[in-house]
Amino acid sequence: MNPNVRPESMERITTPALAEKFIEEQVALIKQQVGDKKVLLALSGGVDSSVVAALLIKAIGQNLVCVHVNHGLLRKGEPEQVIKVFRGEMNANLIYVDAVDRFLDKLAGVKDPETKRKIIGAEFIRVFEEEARKLSDISFLAQGTIYPDILESKGVKAHHNVGGLPEDLKFELVEPVKLLFKDEVRVVGKALGLPDNMVYRQPFPGPGLGVRCVGAITRERLEVVREADAILREEFAANGLQGKVWQYFTIVPDFKSVGVNEKGERTEGYLVVLRAVNTRDAMTATVPEIPFALLQKITDRITHEVKGVNRVAFDLTPKPTGTIEWE
């Protein structure tokens, strides 16, 4: 039997009871595979790597070494949440790496989206390699591979996978959720006690906010994207849209628009674009109807609370013709 093919007889995990059964089975399998050796995991804070971390902590405790790399391109509060949940609540053996300056210095002046992606991916591998070399007794590498990754790309998950590691750092893989679909991973995450905003975290590009700060990334515009995104998410949650709209985020293009302040003086400021979409498969996407009063409130908050912003727009483009992300 191919270990990377989901058996037709495998029951879908849709209830807490089925999730508990899966957890019990995987904990036993992890203990059998790993024994008393140590496992390394790149923990992004996304649902897949978080569920894998929680499973491994349950199975081997401190023998799991989690590495969380803050590259400065995460959403507001995400690095802090990873530390709080895993180190504070789960007593994880967590290494936190503040690599913000390192990444942003490498990205300075780079406009091309693919070049940005390559820089971010390559630098992540280098940071992870440096941390791995500090640890002399690692035998396994855990990954948050899920079944769609195997179906679509033969198990290679670019934004979590550290397959670019040098040959002398190749470890045996531990992939406990590789036969699960995303909705099943979420059910398992709930059963493991992970917080809802981690379990139901929206899809997030590997380069993070780097592709939502369109063009060459500056620290100022990156903070505008981050703060505006936090307001958008807060207002959608407060108005019952969390979980009803598949994905929503902000984009800040690489230009300033003319504006006017309360004194009637001419200003220049950033444009924040709001993006909200619904989709079944990410191949096509529709734009949901968002109450106009809510859009007005979000606009008012962003233009008054986020420094440097004088204009907000709402992207009405479905896929096709537009893509979900702007870069």
CATH number (domain holding residue 250) = 3.30.300.10
- Residue among 272, 280, 274, 290 at smallest CA distance from 319: 280
In a domain, 6, yes or no: no
Q: What pTM value is reported for the model?
A: 0.90
* Contact (CB, 8 A) for 36 and 140: no
For residue 175 the two structure tokens come to: 């992939």
The domain boundary, picked from 130, 165, 199, lies at 199
Q: So what's the pLDDT on residue 46?
A: 92
In a domain, 306, yes or no: yes
Residue 123 and residue 66 share a domain = yes
Check the CA dihedral 297-312-219-71 and report its sign. Answer: positive
Q: Which residue range is the domain that position 278 belongs to?
A: 212-314
Residue 240 and residue 192 share a domain = no
The whole-angstrom separation of Cα 26 and Cα 23 is 5
For residue 76 the two structure tokens come to: 């507001």
Amino acid at 11: E
Q: So what's the pLDDT on residue 207?
A: 92
Q: Tens digit of pLDDT for each residue in 191-214?
A: 999 999 899 998 888 899 999 999
* Contact (CB, 8 A) for 83 and 74: no
Provide the number of structural domains found in the chain.
2
* Contact (CB, 8 A) for 211 and 326: yes
Cβ-proximal residues to 21 (8 Å cutoff; 6+ apart), any chain: none
In a domain, 53, yes or no: yes
Residue 145 and residue 263 share a domain = no
Unique residue bearing structure tokens 């893509």? 323
| N-terminal to C-terminal alpha carbon distance within the chain | 40
In a domain, 169, yes or no: yes
Q: Spell out the per-residue pLDDT of the chain, length 327, in tens.
A: 788 899 989 999 999 999 999 999 999 999 999 999 999 999 999 999 999 999 999 999 999 999 999 999 999 999 999 999 999 999 999 999 999 999 999 999 999 999 999 999 999 999 999 999 999 899 999 999 999 888 876 544 434 445 678 877 879 999 999 999 999 999 999 999 999 989 999 888 889 999 999 999 999 999 999 999 999 999 999 999 998 999 999 999 999 999 998 899 999 999 999 999 999 888 899 999 999 999 999 999 999 999 999 999 999 999 999 999 999
Element containing residue 117 per DSSP (H, E): helix 113-133
For residue 250 the two structure tokens come to: 């902000």
Q: So what's the pLDDT on residue 166?
A: 81
The domain boundary, picked from 199, 234, 250, lies at 199
Residue 72 and residue 141 share a domain = yes
For the chain, give the mean pLDDT: 93
Residue 159 and residue 27 share a domain = yes
CA distances from 233 to 226, 242, 326 (A): 11, 8, 19
Residue 186 and residue 85 share a domain = yes
CA distances from 253 to 100, 183, 189, 325 (A): 21, 33, 35, 12
Residue 156 and residue 126 share a domain = yes
In a domain, 8, yes or no: no
CATH of the domain at 34: 3.40.50.620
The whole-angstrom separation of Cα 228 and Cα 249 is 9
The domain boundary, picked from 167, 199, 231, lies at 199
In a domain, 321, yes or no: no
Q: So what's the pLDDT on residue 280?
A: 87
Q: Tens digit of pLDDT for each residue in 137-153?
A: 999 999 999 998 888 76
The whole-angstrom separation of Cα 10 and Cα 3 is 13
